[in-house]
Structure 1
């Protein structure tokens, strides 16, 4: 079988102050682009252009039923009860899932969805009295456990809505994890840095999330588009696939990706730019890029390799967003 192709998650479209009808139209169009362009592994698109209720953090907080949240000038903050923006985020997610369910009727095959990981949430969400959840050991554990519980319900809902999904991949986005591990996340004042979170604690909290996904019958995939992707940490915590950008990661990460493929797990490999390039790659050049990388590692082409953009496509033009996915789908047929 040939390699597959999919997207990371975000797509262009939507306006923070746009009408509900216009934003719904943009989302429907994004779903149609996904289904037309990567029909073998479609993903639930995210349109962060619609504002904070639709970005990675707001989207994931909409799943966390056990905790309240509200939107403050500095960003999302945990609160004793859900504020109006938290309720809007939940309502928007529900409407988007209705559209995705309707447009995927009759589809049979794997599907991918995305959520923000517990450490990225802890680094971006504030405690009720301010400063990041990351600053409080108990608060970050509570958030991680609430996310795990919310994912169990979310996956059950997806199973009901997508009866033809033969496999459900849940991509856990952790762009902030390298900074969390390095003690590089700034405090609220901007004058200091939060203390380093050591790998054993990071692994434990990730493990709750990955286990919840696996126990619900889905496949946990860890995504990080940094240069220093903590592959061993992800896999040790229970991830059964890794998503990384080939143009960003260092050669030191290659062995971890090779080990992932050799274990029969998926590697989602970023092979085309996530924003409009000055020179558009060809189907042949994208396929050759993947094949050279596999050859360098001494690996045969495999359907466990999934070709993706380098990261989300929210910053791309609608034309490049569509073309990049089509290009990956076409190139994947030559890698196998």
Structure 2
């Protein structure tokens, strides 16, 4: 990564993952146009099953077929049309990315669900989430690791001049660690996953990727120390949910990059998106409170929306991404 310790240029901004609508060509035009320093491969959940986070990632699993049952993903006995649909959507997305960005030479971010969130979101054939069965979780992580390796290679083939940055989405990680994942009845919860096992699972998938990895968690109680320990290059989080600055300061001081979720995905007042000055000032204030030198901010921090934009309007989506882009530029220029 030359003399730049983080795999993105100074002043970068990016999206978290999801965008509104069903037109992947238009979504990719938005991502490439509004986020020129760190575009991401958009997810369009409005296209239906197989296009949302769990189904999209489940389609990447190797030798672990999945299917939809009662609107939930579960392990299947053999590959079927649900898995095929998820894989076909991803193939079309990657082909469209190649058509629009074949000559692109910078970093590009792609997102998949992490092993703990996937274990909390996919069911066993006999019922119940995978997270209840340690052996099934181990098999899932191995399958995901191989699927991630193949996925990253597929992106790299289509964008031969680009460098891939992988985002592991782990919104369920705090709940898995704390034993807060509800059972199907809603009257109980599954046993917590021991932190050492969680670290091992994350580390296995990150190592398999073979590219820099950031871990995204838009929940409270993000286990920042664990994310530091599994060889991630960065953490993506919603700054509105950070209540204790000390762990974040320790993570940044240890060299962890920060994808700072700061631009709200829904306007406080209809039609009133944030300005780039407001977004930049919010990040600058946080950085100053943490006590780090300003010259380091634009290099270590990437500006993002607080979470996905699947439920935003098209106009608000463009305005939010543009505000993130211009905020990153402001931070880079002002130092």
Structure 2 length-normalised TM:
0.92
Selected match of 2:21 from 13, 34, 44: 13
Q: Give the 3 Å change call, closer, same or farther, for CA 274–245 of structure 1 in structure 2.
A: same
Selected match of 2:224 from 231, 237, 251: 231
The residue that corresponds to 1:329 in the other structure is 325
The residue that corresponds to 2:273 in the other structure is 280
Instruction: Report if aligned partners of 1:246, 1:310 keep a CA contact under 8 Å in 2.
Output: yes
Show the 5 A alignment for 1:141-290: 141-165=138-162, 167-213=163-209, 216=210, 218-250=211-243, 252=244, 254-278=245-269, 279-290=272-283
Moved more, 154-163 or 30-39: 154-163
SS in 2 for 1:244: strand
The residue that corresponds to 2:52 in the other structure is 55
TM-fit CA distance, 1:2: 4.1
Instruction: Report if aligned partners of 2:103, 2:159 keep a CA contact under 8 Å in 1.
Output: no
SS in 2 for 1:302: helix
Instruction: Report if aligned partners of 1:276, 1:317 keep a CA contact under 8 Å in 2.
Output: no
State the 4+ residue runs in structure 1 displaced beyond 6 angstroms: none
Instruction: Report if aligned partners of 1:257, 1:267 keep a CA contact under 8 Å in 2.
Output: no
The residue that corresponds to 1:23 in the other structure is none
TM-fit CA distance, 1:57: 0.5
SS in 2 for 1:11: coil
* Separation of aligned partners in 1, 2:15 and 2:262: 11
* Separation of aligned partners in 1, 2:30 and 2:71: 33
The residue that corresponds to 1:308 in the other structure is 304
Q: Deviations over 1:10-67 (max 9, x none)?
A: 00002xxxxxxxxxxx110000001110111000000011112100011101111221
Aligned length: 319
Selected match of 1:137 from 118, 134, 137: 134
The residue that corresponds to 1:17 in the other structure is none
TM-fit CA distance, 1:273: 0.7
Cα RMSD of the aligned pairs, angstroms, is 1.3
Show the 5 A alignment for 1:34-45: 34-45=31-42
Q: Any unmatched runs of 5+ in structure 1? A: 15-25
Structure 1 length-normalised TM:
0.92
Instruction: Report if aligned partners of 1:275, 1:317 keep a CA contact under 8 Å in 2.
Output: no
Q: Any unmatched runs of 5+ in structure 2? A: 1-8
Instruction: Report if aligned partners of 1:261, 1:305 keep a CA contact under 8 Å in 2.
Output: no
TM-fit CA distance, 1:197: 1.1
SS in 1 for 2:189: coil
TM-fit CA distance, 1:210: 1.2
